[in-house]
Amino acid sequence: MTPKTLLLAALIAGPLFTAPAFAQPVPPAPPAANRAGPHHGAGPKMGQMGARMFPSMSEAGRKTMHEAMMAGGNRRDDRQKVEAAREKMLAALEAERFDASAVKRAMDEERSLADATRQQRQAAMLAAFQKLSPEDRKAFVTDSRAMKTRMQGRMDGWRDRVRRLRSDGEARPMPAPTAQPMEG
């Protein structure tokens, strides 16, 4: 075997022999109740989810907030309407002849759809806040601030990983962080 062939064989076979030494044990699967989310039909009941999101609130307060968060139409349909309006804007932008009024109409439509959705959700939340006891309102604020702090920590960690990769000369962009289960 020539030195070049030997080197090539070592490069190919090396990972096959060293991989078991560096392999990590597979973590145990989470309990079945935690694996099945709302899209799988067997997710946690509202009380369990609400208890994780708003652990300081009473059960009645959590139920009120859950109902308000679910009110206001179908989120997927709303998002698809906004995306369709955005696509109209992009189509107008890529047209051979630029039509500023067509772009503006599409932008106005997108903003109008997004604003209508936001106003529906805001009205539902305001109605829910009026139903809460003073204790539950204070607990909502406490839990919301804690949730914001947790999310900020996750984002800061993601940004630090991106900075480290870039400082190491890594040119690839990192994928966006995925949604993590809420911690209680």
In order along the chain (184 residues), what is the average pLDDT of each group of 10 residues?
A: 55 50 46 39 46 86 90 82 92 94 93 90 93 95 93 93 82 60 50
In a domain, 116, yes or no: yes
- Predicted local confidence at residue 4, as pLDDT: 58
Which 3-state string (H, E, C) describes 90-152?
HHHHHCCCCCHHHHHHHHHHHHHHHHHHHHHHHHHHHHHHHHCCHHHHHHHHHHHHHHHHHHH
Domain presence at residue 47:
no
Residue 159, domain member (yes or no): no
pLDDT of the residue at 49: 52
Asked if residue 114 belongs to a domain, the reply is yes
**How many domains are contained in the chain?**
1
**How high is the pLDDT of residue 76?**
87
Q: Provide the terminal-to-terminal Cα distance of the chain, rounded to the nearest Å.
A: 61
Residue 175's pLDDT is: 63
pLDDT for 9: 54
Residue 39 has a pLDDT of: 37
Q: Is residue 84 part of a domain?
A: yes
Question: Residue 28 in 3-state DSSP?
Answer: coil
In a domain, 119, yes or no: yes
pLDDT the model gives residue 69: 86
Quote the domain boundaries for residue 119: 75-130
Q: What's the CA gap between 103 and 120, in Å, rounded? A: 26
Looking at residue 71, its pLDDT comes to 82
Q: 83 in a domain, yes or no?
A: yes
- Domain assignment present for 106: yes
Angle at 149 between CA 146 and CA 151, to 5 degrees: 110
